Amino acid sequence: MKILETIKLGSKLLRKREICSHILDSEILLSNVLNKSREKILVNLDQKLNSRNILKFKKYIRRRSKNEPVAYILGEKEFWSKKFIVNKDTLIPRPETELLVEKLVKLFKGKKISILDIGTGSGCIILSLLSNLEKSVGLGVDVSNKAILIANKNAKRHELSNRVKFLNKSFESIFSKKFDLIVSNPPYIERKNIKNLSEDIKRFEPIMALDGGHDGLDLIKKVIYKSKRILKIKGTLALEIGNEQIKKVSKILIDNNFRIIHVIKDYKNNVRCVFALFR
């Protein structure tokens, strides 16, 4: 079987299961099987495949047909031009979160700061920041021990273990240090809306990292209240938030002695991130 036939076979099977990205997913999965870039396989569509590669590809397609995300099938996801190890114990990094990293890198480029990443997951946010802020150091915390194991692997992969620590603990138990920057992508989906998420998300990604409580603000409030105690004066809090949460989140920030300095809109023009200075 040739590359073109194999891609078509995978795409057809995924389309039957109503996977919208059936062609792209088929191409990405095959490129991984062949250990070649997607672009390279698409200019060699007449190349014949051996039976071992076809079997591995079909196994991947079966998993994807059950809505398992491509990132979990491959065990990694690209974020901020780097590949991060991910599995079902960590959220899959989203392109919208790269907007948060991009703005923070611009704000702190060349500075020496201490960073706390609350709910670090795979560690993609803090590791991306540290890879660009060469003088800075960081701490990532997560209540999931399995997520911390993945974050440590990613730190090692990107040679940042000497500038970051990952701890399996609640951010509410941090007292001994103050930070220049606290960053967090906390759970912000209203509990009643979890059932409306796509099958890829609600069946495979960790619900604990998605469920923001009855109004989606439970963890956001806790992060803001705690940040008052562990941010330096004029320290920055950078939060990723949900659609239509900016008014409520802004009020909580202002009521807790923060001054909003930036908001970032995502690719659909929703306010996705808010930056605030502690006064």
Cross-strand bridge partners of residue 79: 82
- Let me know: does 110 contact 193? Beta carbons within 8 Å: no
What's phi and psi for 205, nearest 5 deg?
-85, 150
- CA 43 from centre of chain: 31
DSSP run (H or E) holding 180: strand 179-184
Cβ neighbourhood burial of 224 (10 Å; 0-12, 13-18, 19+)? buried
DSSP run (H or E) holding 248: helix 246-255
- CA-based nearest residue to 121, from 140, 108, 134, 102: 140
pLDDT in tens, 82-91: 999 999 999 9
pLDDT score at 98: 97
Describe the chain by its helix, strand, coil percentages, rounded to 5: 45, 20, 35
pLDDT score at 14: 98
Strands 164-167 and 231-240: unpaired
pLDDT score at 175: 84
- Let me know: does 191 contact 212? Beta carbons within 8 Å: yes
- Let me know: does 265 contact 274? Beta carbons within 8 Å: no
Tokens 């912000």 correspond to: 188
pLDDT score at 107: 97
Contacts (Cβ under 8 Å, ≥6 apart) of 119: 141, 142, 143, 171, 184, 185, 186, 187, 209, 219
Q: Reply yes or no on domain 76-278 having CATH 3.40.640.10.
A: no
- CA-based nearest residue to 239, from 225, 160, 77: 225
DSSP run (H or E) holding 272: strand 271-278
Contacts (Cβ under 8 Å, ≥6 apart) of 222: 171, 172
Mean pLDDT per 10-residue interval, the chain, length 279 residues = 97 97 98 96 96 98 98 97 97 95 97 98 98 98 97 98 97 91 96 92 92 93 96 97 95 97 94 96
